Structure 1
Amino acid sequence: MRATKISLFILLFLLLGIAGCSDREEARVETKDLVQGVYASGQVLPENYYRVNSKVSGVLSEILVEVGRDVEMGTPLLRIENEPSERSLEIAENQLELARKHAAPDSDILNRLREQVDKAYAVFSQDSLDFARFGRLQDDDIGSRQAYDRARLQYRTSLSSYEIAKSNLRETRDRLRIELENARNSYLAQQSRTGDYTLLSVIEGTVYDIHPNKGELISPNQPIMEIGASGRFEAELDVDETDITLIEEGQSVFFELDALEDSVLEGKIMRIYPRIDPVERTARVVASIDPEDHRLYPGMSLEANIVIREKEGVLVLPVLYVSESNEVILEDGSRKTVETGIRDLSYVEITDGLEEGDIVLKPEP
């Protein structure tokens, strides 16, 4: 009787277990084409995009183009009325005159060094005569060895001093010539900064934005305009540093833009910048983008999927059905380790351990 009760209990437990398994979600191993990609985000920019800035400070006296206008290479863009810099020019002129004075052949600096060379040569000449005389005496066994050694030491010391004096003269003369050239260039540069300063376009393209207004003060290196190619765009993407080693030039890219619902644009990876942003921990990548029939604008945000690998007709399971240790739960509740290959956001390739049509249960949360 006791054995019968135990058997009934076991049977009830198995039935409950099977019923519990039947309530869990399941998936069937199937064949699909699988694409492995890397996610990136970024923005649309025109090709050859650059920011126009000034090398001088001053007042923006005239804007010669409008936003949206096409420009040629060399087209005048704006004029800056340079701030008065008479004091700076005077300082540069004084520095140039001082450099000329110092670099002149008869300057006090060079004359003092020549005197040092002459004195060092006079000492060296006398010491060389003494050394030669003591050498002859030594050869004739006249005079002490100690006196000869002192004369030799004095000769070597004066020779070294003479060479150092000549080197100082030569190096100082070269340095003063360089300082004169630098002072001359600084003076000419300061002269060129007086009066009006006109900025020209360095490419053929379109003016996409103008930041300051006429009459505003412009600082050196301040962005003034944004110019890029007309109607030709590219995508500037940020790729996580953990994925950047997978990216190569020529890979296909698929874009989704917030401004273009239900549209997917295509492109190719063109450039990979070899630097990781120390704050964002991302690398910059530039891809071409085909607008098809859509109108694109600089600054449009986008998301991208960069295709790394593609496989046709492979066995797959939903990624939620395979654990991090590549373990799956079979239909009877048992667990099995499988081998996996590439994956996308939804599916993972099963390379070994399961066959098409096998049923796998979804792990409990």
Structure 2
Amino acid sequence: MNKTLKTILILVAVTAIGYFVYKQFPAEPEKIARADGGGGPMAQQVAVDVYVVSPSAFQNRITTTGTVLPNEDVELRSEIAGRVTGINFEEGSRVRKGQLLLTVNDADLRAQLQKLESNQKLYREMEERQRTLLEKEYISAQEYDQVSNQLATATADIQALKATMAKAYVRAPFDGVIGLRQVSEGSYVSATTPIARIVDVSPVKIDFAIPGRHSQQVKQGDKISFTVEGNPETYQASIYAIQPNIDPTTRTLQIRALFDNKNQEVKPGAFVNVSLALKESDDAILIPTEAIIPEATGHKIYLAKNGKAVPKMVKIGQRSETLIQIMEGVTPGDTIIRSGILQVRDGSKLNIRKVQSAEEVLATPNTTQSGTEETAG
């Protein structure tokens, strides 16, 4: 009897405590509904905002990296071996095309030239006498031709030697800035000895590459904008050359633009960020970037159809700060779920709180209709 009484008392105490807790901390209606397996019509609905798709104007833009190249760049070397007898330039100075920069000893060549010119004078006098004799028919034509050939050979030897002597004078091949000198007067140079580097830095070339799929959308004369590493200023350049083929290894198209660089503020060898505007589309399909769900097999969105969520795989294009271009999978008039994505599942019932159109999204601050595709340079 004592055991039975104790058991009854314990059950009464537990019941009293449970009732007290229930009164003090009532369960939430939603949790009660889930506990008893029921739930009202709103218990399984997901509150979302949606976006109604409509065609919009959109300009594709590629951003990539590139390198600044000099317009011309040559390492000066002597075409003949010899001792340096004269240096006629200052390091870092501007030089003009044809300006004499360095002289190699040509004393032996001058001596040979003097000898050849003496022989030429002798043969010329002989040729004149032989011509007079030939006119009076005192000698045969064969005898005259022999002397005439000797004169022609001497003249050709002089021309060849003068061409060799010209190689002893190193001249600027174009207008530019000459760099640091690598030789001194009196040093011995050969065809493999670097003397100095001369570069033309006005204008400069901007060398970059874009994905090959855009090869039909770019042409000579198109403008690019670029920034130099460490400099916030934006410069404009014009495309002047396009590689005729796509690189089969990288699948990119090599492009060069020209920047006048009148103030020489852009240095060759610098790293640049390039922005290239492509063809503008008047009927692009754009949706908010937050509506995209990345997956291992591609990109997915949720459509709102008949009050339920329907998943859809899409192919994306370029993107701006707030919008992304859809190439396949979405058509004008579709309703895209743009918020509450993490709670949405296939077939989820939807409680649509807000409906936005493309015009409303594009009208919000910091929204641009220019998309950017980033690619390695």
Q: After TM superposition, give the deviation of residue 34 of structure 1 in Å.
A: 3.0
Q: Take 1:337 and 1:301, find their aligned partners in 2: how far apart are those partners?
A: 38
Instruction: Name 2:15's counterpart in structure 1.
Output: none
Deviations 1:50-94 (A, max 9, x none): 314336253672442234423222111223458x99xxx9xxxxx
Instruction: Name 2:312's counterpart in structure 1.
Output: 336
Alignment of 1:85-104 (within 5 A): none
> Is 1:65 paired with 2:89?
yes
Q: Residue 78 of structure 2 contacts residue 168 of structure 2 at CA under 8 Å; is this kept in 1?
A: no
Instruction: Name 2:197's counterpart in structure 1.
Output: 225
Q: Residue 233 of structure 1 contacts residue 289 of structure 1 at CA under 8 Å; is this kept in 2?
A: yes
Instruction: Name 1:130's counterpart in structure 2.
Output: none
> Cα–Cα, structure 1 residues 310 and 279, in superposed 2: closer, same or farther, change >3 Å?
closer
Q: Residue 60 of structure 1 contacts residue 81 of structure 1 at CA under 8 Å; is this kept in 2?
A: yes
Instruction: Name 1:257's counterpart in structure 2.
Output: 228
SS of residue paired to 2:267:
coil
> Is 1:360 paired with 2:341?
no
TM-score by length of 2: 0.50
> Cα–Cα, structure 1 residues 35 and 187, in superposed 2: closer, same or farther, change >3 Å?
farther
Letter in structure 1 aligned against 2:37: F
Alignment of 1:137-148 (within 5 A): none
Q: After TM superposition, give the deviation of residue 304 of structure 1 in Å.
A: 0.9
% identity of equivalent residues = 14
Structure 2: runs of 5+ lacking an equivalent:
1-32, 113-154, 343-377
SS of residue paired to 2:269:
coil
Cα root mean square deviation, aligned: 5.0
Judging by fraction of residues, say which structure has more helix: 1
Q: Residue 301 of structure 2 contacts residue 336 of structure 2 at CA under 8 Å; is this kept in 1?
A: no
Deviations 1:265-296 (A, max 9, x none): 22221111336668777554211236698822
Letter in structure 2 aligned against 1:234: K
SS of residue paired to 2:243:
strand
Letter in structure 2 aligned against 1:35: Q
User: Which of the residues 254, 257, 267 maps onto 1:287?
Assistant: 257
> Cα–Cα, structure 1 residues 199 and 297, in superposed 2: closer, same or farther, change >3 Å?
same
Q: Residue 35 of structure 1 contacts residue 344 of structure 1 at CA under 8 Å; is this kept in 2?
A: no
> Is 1:237 paired with 2:213?
no
Instruction: Name 1:54's counterpart in structure 2.
Output: 77
Letter in structure 2 aligned against 1:207: V
> Cα–Cα, structure 1 residues 291 and 191, in superposed 2: closer, same or farther, change >3 Å?
closer
Letter in structure 2 aligned against 1:310: E
> Cα–Cα, structure 1 residues 246 and 211, in superposed 2: closer, same or farther, change >3 Å?
farther
> Cα–Cα, structure 1 residues 246 and 200, in superposed 2: closer, same or farther, change >3 Å?
same
Q: Take 1:44 and 1:233, find their aligned partners in 2: how far apart are those partners?
A: 7
Q: Take 1:69 and 1:291, find their aligned partners in 2: how far apart are those partners?
A: 17
Q: After TM superposition, give the deviation of residue 195 of structure 1 in Å.
A: 9.0
Instruction: Name 1:305's counterpart in structure 2.
Output: 275
Q: Take 1:313 and 1:237, find their aligned partners in 2: how far apart are those partners?
A: 29
SS of residue paired to 1:212:
coil
Q: Residue 211 of structure 1 contacts residue 223 of structure 1 at CA under 8 Å; is this kept in 2?
A: yes
Instruction: Name 1:198's counterpart in structure 2.
Output: 169
Q: After TM superposition, give the deviation of residue 303 of structure 1 in Å.
A: 1.7
Q: Residue 315 of structure 1 contacts residue 355 of structure 1 at CA under 8 Å; is this kept in 2?
A: no
How many residues end up aligned between the 2 structures?
255
> Cα–Cα, structure 1 residues 357 and 11, in superposed 2: closer, same or farther, change >3 Å?
same
Instruction: Name 2:99's counterpart in structure 1.
Output: 75
> Cα–Cα, structure 1 residues 330 and 76, in superposed 2: closer, same or farther, change >3 Å?
same
Q: Take 1:64 and 1:6, find their aligned partners in 2: how far apart are those partners?
A: 94
Q: Take 2:162 and 2:264, find their aligned partners in 1: how far apart are those partners?
A: 50
Q: Residue 67 of structure 2 contacts residue 207 of structure 2 at CA under 8 Å; is this kept in 1?
A: yes
Instruction: Name 1:128's counterpart in structure 2.
Output: none
> Cα–Cα, structure 1 residues 280 and 334, in superposed 2: closer, same or farther, change >3 Å?
closer
Instruction: Name 2:266's counterpart in structure 1.
Output: 296
